[in-house]
């Protein structure tokens, strides 16, 4: 019940802040639709708020709910609001199902994987067509370059099942289910980024462009905000301080800063370590810290922080769909914190560890390469 009261209070706050009907509806989705009893209680509490936006939200609930008792309470609540003088959209009578039912077209399906360290990810969009199989579109998109690769083909249901199993087996990241409209949105956004970068488009994309645009919708925020309450975790230092732990997670473990960007700072660390000037360990550590902070300030401009913010928001959804809610919260908390400028005194824990990891990964590779080089000194 405590969670329900929190949602109702958030709804009231949304109303005061002038949030749209859709934004308020998204707030209720944190609990609505999971349990009929909770749904009935939520609708009753919502109906006690005399506002036209509440009536609109209840209408949206009526559209998505399949529980007869819940739908009945929603209709009753709408009537109560109408009796209080609140403008209420007419509820159309429900049509009885015909004995002769037409063939039902299955809903489109979407799937997506996580980002690699270059900001690339795999997406899969499936659109069933009655009587002629499934249109299957898949590709790799980049958040800095746009469409990297894209293919589309027609398949049978059985053919898709085998194809999907093969993709899952080859993918370095687990694929999770996404709203098909969101996958279409991501493909569409990558398409426009490709045009902005004046890069060549994969030929297949133009062939399936209309299919993609037919299912896509516009999204103001990543999907994770429909599942986790951002205001409940934003600014939570306890969660934020665990940001560095994300780099140990299997789906983010490969992340590092590109070599050409991190090399100048790795060279500085190497020079500090090999310096002929005798320094105490504490002095060396202080010098290293200065290099890390310099890297943070110079590498993570507002544009680059926004890039990582979006990546971590998307990864939060991946974690959530994999049943790893704690890691999802950490990922989203870190993402929200990236909206702030870099603080050299209290740096974002995730970015700080990413800088250190990237520098020492490069130094390790350089050291191993040096060890493997044949020595020119002839041993006696």
pLDDT in tens, 17-70: 888 877 788 888 777 877 788 888 888 888 888 888 888 888 888 877 878 888
**Is the pLDDT confidence value at 264 over 50?**
yes
**Is the pLDDT confidence value at 314 over 60?**
yes
Q: How far apart are CA 260 and CA 118, in angstroms?
A: 12
In a domain, 225, yes or no: no
Give 279's pLDDT tier (boundaries 50, 70, 90).
Answer: low
pLDDT of residue 4: 82
CA dihedral 301, 307, 313, 318 (to 10 degrees): -140
Phi, psi of 89 (to 5 degrees): -65, 140
Report the percent of the chain where pLDDT is more than 70: 91
The helix/strand/coil state of 366 is helix
pLDDT, tens digit, 9 for 90 and up, residues 191-212: 999 999 999 999 899 999 999 9
pLDDT, tens digit, 9 for 90 and up, residues 330-377: 999 999 999 999 988 899 999 999 999 999 999 988 777 766 665 544
Report the percent of the chain where pLDDT is more than 90: 54
pLDDT of residue 251: 94
**Is the pLDDT confidence value at 103 over 50?**
no
In a domain, 167, yes or no: yes
| More confident of the two residues 3 and 52 | 52
In a domain, 19, yes or no: yes
- Whole-model pTM over 0.85: no
Identify whether residues 157 and 187 lie together within a single domain.
yes
Tell me which of 157, 187, 215 is where a domain ends: 215
Which DSSP helix (H) or strand (E) runs through 110? strand 109-112
CB contact set of 43 (below 8 Å; sequence gap of 6+)? 58, 61, 70, 73, 74, 77
The pLDDT of 6-16, averaged and rounded, is: 86
Q: How far apart are CA 205 and CA 189, in angstroms?
A: 13
Identify whether residues 239 and 350 lie together within a single domain.
yes
In a domain, 261, yes or no: yes
The pLDDT of 170-185, averaged and rounded, is: 92
pLDDT of residue 63: 79
Q: How far apart are CA 358 and CA 263, in angstroms?
A: 9
**Is the pLDDT confidence value at 97 over 50?**
no
pLDDT of residue 341: 93
pLDDT, tens digit, 9 for 90 and up, residues 218-240: 999 999 999 998 888 888 899 99
| Structural domain span for residue 58 | 2-83
Tokens of 164: 């999907």
In a domain, 254, yes or no: yes
Q: In what order do the strands lie in the sheet with 134-142?
A: 146-155, 134-142, 120-128, 109-112, 176-178
Identify whether residues 365 and 246 lie together within a single domain.
yes
Tell me which of 43, 65, 83 is where a domain ends: 83
Tokens of 193: 């980024």
pLDDT of residue 31: 77
Of 122-126, 170-174, 303-307, where does mean pLDDT reach its minimum?
170-174
Identify whether residues 279 and 172 lie together within a single domain.
no
Rounded to 10°, the helix 349-372/281-299 angle is 110
Most confident of 60-64, 177-181, 277-281: 177-181
pLDDT of residue 377: 47
In a domain, 377, yes or no: no
Of 54-63, 101-110, 129-138, 213-222, where does mean pLDDT reach its minimum?
101-110
In a domain, 135, yes or no: yes
The pLDDT of 316-339, averaged and rounded, is: 96
Identify whether residues 48 and 149 lie together within a single domain.
no
CA 105 to chain centre: 28
Query: Residue 194 in contact with residue 147, Cβ under 8 Å?
Result: yes
Identify whether residues 281 and 175 lie together within a single domain.
no
| More confident of the two residues 186 and 63 | 186
Identify whether residues 259 and 196 lie together within a single domain.
no
The domain total for the chain is 3
**Is the pLDDT confidence value at 101 over 70?**
no
Closest of 237, 249, 234 to residue 353, by C-alpha: 249
Identify whether residues 240 and 208 lie together within a single domain.
no
Identify whether residues 258 and 347 lie together within a single domain.
yes
pLDDT of residue 16: 85
In a domain, 220, yes or no: no
Give 178's pLDDT tier (boundaries 50, 70, 90).
Answer: very high
Identify whether residues 349 and 291 lie together within a single domain.
yes
Identify whether residues 330 and 240 lie together within a single domain.
yes
Identify whether residues 254 and 361 lie together within a single domain.
yes
Name residue, tokens 């994309």: 205
């Amino acid at each position: 019940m405590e969670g329900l009261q929190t949602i109702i209070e958030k709804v009231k706050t949304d109303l005061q802040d002038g949030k749209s009907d859709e934004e308020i509806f998204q707030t209720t989705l944190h609990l609505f639709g999971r349990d009929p009893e909770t749904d009935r209680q939520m609708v009753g509490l919502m109906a006690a708020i005399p506002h036209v936006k509440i009536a609109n939200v209840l209408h949206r609930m009526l559209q998505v709910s399949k529980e007869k008792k819940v739908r009945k309470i929603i209709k009753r609540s709408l009537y109560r609001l109408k009796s209080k003088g609140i403008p209420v959209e007419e509820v159309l009578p429900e049509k009885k199902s015909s004995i002769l039912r037409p063939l039902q077209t299955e809903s489109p399906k979407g799937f997506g994987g996580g980002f690699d360290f270059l900001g690339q990810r795999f997406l899969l969009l499936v659109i069933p067509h009655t009587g002629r199989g499934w249109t299957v579109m898949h590709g790799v998109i980049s958040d800095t370059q746009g469409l990297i690769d894209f293919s589309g083909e027609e398949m049978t249901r059985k053919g898709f099942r085998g194809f999907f199993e093969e993709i899952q087996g080859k993918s370095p990241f687990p694929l999770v289910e996404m709203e098909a409209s969101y996958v279409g949105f991501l493909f569409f956004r990558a398409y426009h980024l490709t045009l902005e970068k004046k890069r060549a488009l994969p030929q297949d994309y133009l062939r399936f462009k209309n299919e993609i645009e037919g299912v896509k919708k516009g999204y103001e925020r990543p999907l994770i905000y429909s599942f986790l309450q951002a205001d409940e975790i934003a600014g939570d230092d306890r969660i934020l301080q665990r940001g560095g732990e994300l780099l140990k997670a299997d789906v983010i473990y490969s992340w590092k800063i590109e070599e050409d960007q991190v090399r100048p700072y790795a060279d500085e660390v190497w020079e500090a370590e090999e310096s002929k000037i005798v320094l105490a360990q504490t002095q060396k550590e202080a010098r290293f810290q200065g290099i890390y902070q310099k890297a943070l300030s110079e590498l993570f401009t507002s544009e680059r922080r926004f890039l990582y913010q979006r990546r971590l928001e998307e990864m939060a959804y991946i974690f959530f769909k994999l049943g790893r809610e704690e890691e999802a919260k950490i990922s989203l908390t870190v993402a929200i914190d990236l909206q702030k400028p870099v603080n050299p005194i209290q740096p974002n824990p995730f970015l700080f560890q990413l800088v250190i990891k990237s520098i020492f990964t490069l130094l390790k590779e350089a050291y191993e390469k040096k060890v493997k080089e044949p020595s020119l000194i002839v041993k006696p």
